[in-house]
Amino acid sequence: MLGSVPTTPKALQDYAPVIGEERVREIRDLAAPLAGARVLHINATAFGGGVAELLGSLVPLMNDAGLRAGWQVMNGSEEFFQVTKAMHNALQGMLIDWTPHMREVWLHNNLLNAQLFDEDYDFVIVHDPQPAAILGFIAELQRRHPAGYWLWRCHIDLTHAQVQVWDTLRPHLEGYDGAIFTLADYVKEDLGGPQTFVVPPAIDPLSAKNAELPEDVQQGILARYGIDPAKPLLVQVSRFDPWKDPLGVIEVYRAIKREMPDLHLVLIASMAHDDPEGWAWYERTVRRAGDDYDIHILSNLNGVGNVEVNAFQRAADVVIQKSVREGFGLVVSEALWKGRPVVAGNVGGIPLQIVNGKTGYLVNTVEECVQRVLSLLKDSEKAREMGRAGREFVRDNFLITRYLRDYLRVFREMRGIEPLRGESAATAARVLD
């Protein structure tokens, strides 16, 4: 057995005020024939990043829906985690020197984990490339495809994957029964074997990052960080790297500040200690901000956590996500859920979340971004209207309950259970329209 991860129990019923009784009932109906099914999620880390956040909500909700879901984390040497970090980067398009030794480290650690695997499940979901080779080794050890359906869940964009690394990974995926991708565009054409599904990620409306905030907490946080709620505020929450273009955001802010001298900007950097590139970009951004104290650069390492991010997003007049490259960009849905209009880069999963001109604006350049943000700051009625539309759009498409529903549909399809009345057979593999 691998390392089990404890999760906080959650009740589907708590989501009824958010999504309505009918949708809760639909989930229960979908789950009914799966009652008691043993589900195991395997990934590389219990914390940090979107995957762990999703699992922290999904696993307890699956349990509440009547399945027996668990989450385990693979073990690995320090070298393994370095190798898989490089592998992860290469699969997202970065060029790395992929050596036979690295391949060996990856495989060897997967083998060791396969040897620890000693229980049967009805569905096993293996997340991302780190543990992906485990299935092949278990099959070898057991001399058969292990019990249950095995699904590979890919959370990353493989479009520009480095060929060598993808060629290492691909043969280990072929034994899976299913493969779940985040976007239709990310499905690898040359992946033969597993049936493919598309399930975009989602946010938990009841989490500390998204739940309603008491007024005193909201005001208190703004005051502690020196933000005057009476003045216009732009907010971007992102990693600090060239792909999130924090310098571009400062340019946008500067251009608008000429017209609106009261304007404030909050940049919240999500940083890791072991990410020198992030630090270099942090420093560059700070230098660009110079001694303009209306630019607030904050970081998780300063104790800016869920509740603080929640407060800043709620306080924003316009939320910016000026990405020039993006995986999915779920932070856009977080902002939309709070009824904020969002101006964001037209890349990755962002166009899926922003209906251009309705729930926000998609932009490609600094100039476009300036123009759109300015128009929203000047037309508060329009901004409010977009915020409202954004919240409804997220309610329909990007809440954790939809995510749970999609998983249940995938499971049903694997087991050959008829779709619910009114559902098309292909819905599990659907792409959002």
Question: Of 424, 399, 396, whose CA–CA distance to 409 is shortest?
Answer: 424
Q: Which is nearer to another protein, 261 or 416 (CB)?
A: 261
Single out the residue of 100, 101, 208, 201 nearest to residue 153, CA to CA.
201
Query: Could you tell me which of 84, 106, 118, 85 has the C-alpha nearest to residue 2?
Result: 118
Residue placing its CB nearer to another protein in the complex, 88 or 296:
296
* Strands ordered across the beta sheet of 342-345: 295-299, 264-269, 233-238, 318-321, 342-345, 360-363
Out of 95, 141, 208, 426, the residue judged to bind another protein by CB under 8 A = 208
Task: Assess 209 for contact with another protein (CB under 8 A).
Answer: yes
Number of residues that bind another protein (CB under 8 A): 58
Angle between helices 400-415 and 21-31 (to 10 degrees): 30
Q: Name which position in 89, 164, 196, 300 contacts another protein (CB under 8 A).
A: 300
Tell me the C-alpha distance between 256 and 268, whole Å: 20
Q: Which of 17, 20, 171, 226 binds another protein (CB under 8 A)?
A: 226
* Nearer residue to another protein within complex by CB, 205 or 341: 205
What is the nearest approach in angstroms of another protein to the Cβ of residue 280? 10
Asked if residues 302 and 221 have their Cβ atoms less than 8 Å apart, the reply is no
User: DSSP characters for 220-287?
Assistant: HHHHHTT--TTS-EEEEEE--SGGG-HHHHHHHHHHHHTT-TT-EEEEEE---TT-HHHHHHHHHHHH
Q: Pick from 159, 299, 371, 397 the residue near another protein by CB under 8 A.
A: 299
| Residue 305 binds another protein, judged by CB under 8 A | yes
The interface with another protein within residues 67-126 (CB under 8 A) comprises: 73, 77-78, 81
| Residue 17 interacts with another protein (CB under 8 A): yes or no | no
Under rule CB under 8 A, residue 301 binds another protein: yes
Q: Which of 65, 289, 316, 377 binds another protein (CB under 8 A)?
A: 289
- 13 is an interface residue for another protein by CB under 8 A: no
Q: Rule CB under 8 A: is residue 306 a binding residue for another protein?
A: yes
Number of H helices and number of E strands within the chain?
16, 13
Q: Which 8-state DSSP code applies to residue 71?
A: E
Buried residues in 32-60 as b, exposed as e (16+ CB within 10 A): eebeebbbbbbbbbbeeeebbbbbbbbbb
Gap between the Cα atoms of 121 and 68, Å rounded? 10
Q: Which stretch binds another protein (CB under 8 A): 182-190, 276-284, 317-325, 348-356?
A: 276-284
Chain-centre distance for alpha carbon 176: 23
Residue from 36, 276, 416, 422 in contact with another protein (CB under 8 A): 276
Q: Which of 189, 190, 291, 381 binds another protein (CB under 8 A)?
A: 291
If one asks whether residue 303 binds another protein (CB under 8 A), the answer comes out as yes
Q: Name the DSSP class of 299.
A: E
Residue closer to another protein (CB basis): 1 or 163 = 1
Shorter beta-carbon distance to another protein: residue 89 or 306: 306
Is residue 373 within 8 Å of residue 343, measured between CB atoms? yes
Binding to another protein by residue 217, rule CB under 8 A? yes
By CB under 8 A, residue 140 contacts another protein: no
- Is residue 290 within the footprint of another protein (CB under 8 A)? yes
Residue 59, interface with another protein (CB under 8 A)? no
All residues at 6 or more sequence positions from 317 whose CB lies less than 8 Å from its CB, including other chains: 232, 233, 234, 340, 376, 377, 383
The yes or no reply on residue 56 touching another protein (CB under 8 A) is yes
How far apart are the C-alpha atoms of 326 and 188, rounded to whole Å?
A: 18
164 lies in the site for another protein, by CB under 8 A: no
Closest to another protein by CB, 141 vs 272, is 272
- Residue 11 is a binding residue for another protein (CB under 8 A): no
Q: Which of 143, 144, 258, 287 binds another protein (CB under 8 A)?
A: 287
Give the CA distances from residue 323 to residues 197, 358, 373, in Å, rounded to whole numbers and listed in that order.
26, 19, 15
For residue 48, the minimal CB distance to another protein (Å) is 4
Contact call for residue 304 and another protein (CB under 8 A): yes
Residue 166 and residue 158 in contact, taking contact as beta carbons nearer than 8 Å: yes
Judged by beta carbon, residue 289 or residue 389, the one nearer another protein is 289
Q: Does 141 bind another protein (CB under 8 A)?
A: no
Question: Residue 275 and residue 234: Cα distance in Å, rounded?
Answer: 26
Q: How far apart are CA 30 and CA 203, in angstroms?
A: 21
- Stretch of 127-135, 204-212, 397-405, 410-418 contacting another protein, by CB under 8 A: 204-212
User: Which residues lie closer than 8 Å to 363 by C-beta, 6 or more apart?
Assistant: 322, 343, 344, 345, 346, 369, 372
Residue ranges binding another protein (CB under 8 A): 3-6, 8-9, 46-48, 52-53, 56, 73, 77-78, 81, 206-209, 211, 214, 216-217, 220-221, 224-226, 271-274, 276, 282-283, 286-287, 289-293, 295-297, 299-309, 311
